[in-house]
Amino acid sequence: MIDRYALPEMRDVFSERRKLELWLRIELLATEALNAAGIVPDGDWERIKTALQGAGVDPARAHEIERESQHDVIAFLRSVTERLGSEGRWLHFGLTSSDLLDTATAVQLRDGTAVVATELARLIEIVRRLALQYRSAPMVGRSHGIHAEPITFGFKVAGWYAELVRDVERLAKAGEGVAVGKISGAVGTHANVPPEVEAHVMEGLGLTADPAGDGGPPSPAQRGGRDLRAVCRGAAGVVGDAPQAEPGPGRAHHRPGAPAARRRAGRAREHGALARARHQP
């Protein structure tokens, strides 16, 4: 994630530390369920819980190990089990790497969607007020980008408002679509990890279990991601439309434009918003 184009809240959601903390939380929930199922002895679970719950993860140590192991999940597990004795063997028992990666990503996408929803609600209220404020302000209407019949700026903004309200529904659907995880082991068969473990982890994370086991193409996160991109494209349309409606550069004298084109205003916020909306993976 490029810091310049990210909200602070979104940077936190998708930070490396947050990802590793989610991995640890998933491992602890899975081990807790294995203990309840009688697979992990009570004493071992108590030692794991005492050593790791609330302890956090050291990203620097995990990256140091990864340079040698060339495997992110193995590096994470080694960095965590350094604090444990023989009971460390129960961490990741029956799990596969995608159980961690896909499930943690689902949590991040769900939480990121909540950040977008908060900002979208603020934007809708701003646009609503703008439409009312300028409902009688005349401006040139356009058809295929060419001057057409006159309209009002408030009328144009009302169109943005309607699109953003539709985006609320799209975003809610996307949030549901991405909130799907799995703890099903290699190739998703549950051969080495009981379905009860998956159910416990999903409940602890506030997710639903992937009915396909191993996800399959496309995964729930990928499907939800497509819905998120649709919301971003709608926002890009609003932001991209705004400069055309602007009567002038709209900038203070101390704000320079591009060095090679001083006549063009350097709209940092517009560029940032367009970059966030258009360049979705």
Which CATH number goes with the domain that contains 86? 1.10.275.10
Q: What percent of the chain has pLDDT over 70?
A: 77
Check residue 52 and give its pLDDT: 95
Please report which confidence band the pLDDT of residue 214 belongs to, taking 50, 70 and 90 as the band edges. low
Does 251 score more than 60 pLDDT?
no
**Could you tell me if residue 252 is inside a domain?**
no
Domain finish residue from 77, 93, 109: 93
Check residue 281 and give its pLDDT: 46
Q: How high does pLDDT run on average in the chain?
A: 86
Asked whether residue 76 falls in the same domain as residue 114, the answer is: no
**Could you tell me if residue 167 is inside a domain?**
yes
Q: What percent of the chain has pLDDT over 90?
A: 66
Check residue 253 and give its pLDDT: 53
Asked whether residue 142 falls in the same domain as residue 84, the answer is: no
Instruction: Give mean pLDDT, residues 180-193.
Output: 93
Asked whether residue 138 falls in the same domain as residue 273, the answer is: yes
Check residue 211 and give its pLDDT: 83
pLDDT tens digits along 48-92: 999 999 888 999 999 999 999 999 999 999 999 999 999 999 999
Structure tokens at 85: 């004795």
Check residue 6 and give its pLDDT: 86
Does 182 score more than 90 pLDDT?
yes
Asked whether residue 192 falls in the same domain as residue 78, the answer is: no
Check residue 163 and give its pLDDT: 92
* Higher pLDDT among residues 281 and 247, named by residue: 247
Check residue 248 and give its pLDDT: 55
CATH of the domain at 233: 1.20.200.10
Domain count across the chain? 2
Check residue 54 and give its pLDDT: 84
Asked whether residue 128 falls in the same domain as residue 81, the answer is: no
Nearest to 82 by CA among 100, 54, 58: 58
Asked whether residue 31 falls in the same domain as residue 119, the answer is: no
Check residue 252 and give its pLDDT: 55
Asked whether residue 17 falls in the same domain as residue 135, the answer is: no
Domain finish residue from 54, 77, 93: 93
pLDDT tens digits along 89-129: 999 999 999 999 999 999 999 999 999 999 999 999 999 99
Asked whether residue 128 falls in the same domain as residue 242, the answer is: yes
Asked whether residue 199 falls in the same domain as residue 119, the answer is: yes
Domain finish residue from 67, 93, 119: 93
**Could you tell me if residue 205 is inside a domain?**
yes
Asked whether residue 77 falls in the same domain as residue 193, the answer is: no
Spatial distance between the Cα atoms of 200 and 3, rounded to a whole number of angstroms: 35
Asked whether residue 50 falls in the same domain as residue 73, the answer is: yes
Spatial distance between the Cα atoms of 253 and 271, rounded to a whole number of angstroms: 19
Asked whether residue 89 falls in the same domain as residue 100, the answer is: no
Burial of 142 (0-12, 13-18, 19+ CB in 10 A): middle
Instruction: Give mean pLDDT, residues 200-207.
Output: 98
Domain of residue 35 covers 1-93
